[in-house]
Amino acid sequence: MSEREQSGDVAASQGQDLGDIVVTANKKAQSLQKTPAAVTALDSELIVQKGVTDLRAAQAFVPSVRFQQQATSTEVYIRGIGATLDQAQIDPPTSVNFNGIYMPREVTSAAFFDVNQIEVLPGPQGTLYGRSSLGGVVNINFNRPTHKNETSFNLEAGNYALLHLTAVQNLSLTDTLAMRAAFDFARHTGYLESGAQSKNGFNGRLPALHADGPSEHLRLGDGRR
């Protein structure tokens, strides 16, 4: 049973209202209960509480998947369908999308921060998502700018020199223009003397939203994750 299903059962037994979960699995925003697809959705609250900082960490909360590190990318298996061949000329049978945009395998190990929702759809999904979706699709939706001024910080510290900081600032500049700046820094000494699994890097995003046109995004980072 998934984390969300367990939470739902507990809340239902206590008479709590879970609210409406909105997903974009069918290329449009609609209620999860009305979506004719097997979708596993992780919301932002669960992602932060469980420390999901990359795609591999999400594996523990999604049934029938395996997200395995391979060099600088992540091998994605959904219901046993995936590929171990990490070659540029061979497309994997599962796709990963950031805000609806297909990402190459080199980006699948990017850090997760200021994430709104993660959706996993078992395949085949070729009708809506085209090639590389025979095994399924992983949608990562980051928070977009809104016309609301707000600031948030998240600080985590621990042994092995762990320091993880995420800062987000959303600004409504005019009636038609809004911007959102998100910054993430992570440092962690690896558990092995060789330094394997160490982290020391930063990432940033600077999306802008204009009422008369599509949103624009600028992503910054040094890639040392």
The domains found in the chain, sorted by start residue, are 3-10+17-142 (2.170.130.10), 150-221 (no CATH)
Tens of pLDDT, residue by residue over 102-124, are 988 888 888 899 999 999 999 88
pLDDT at site 185: 95
Distances (CA, A) of 201 to 22, 188, 210, 225: 32, 10, 31, 6
The better pLDDT of the pair 14, 108 is held by 108
Q: Which amino acid would we find at residue 66?
A: R
The mean pLDDT of 132-147, rounded to a whole number, is 92
Task: Reply yes or no on whether the pLDDT at 205 is more than 80.
Answer: yes
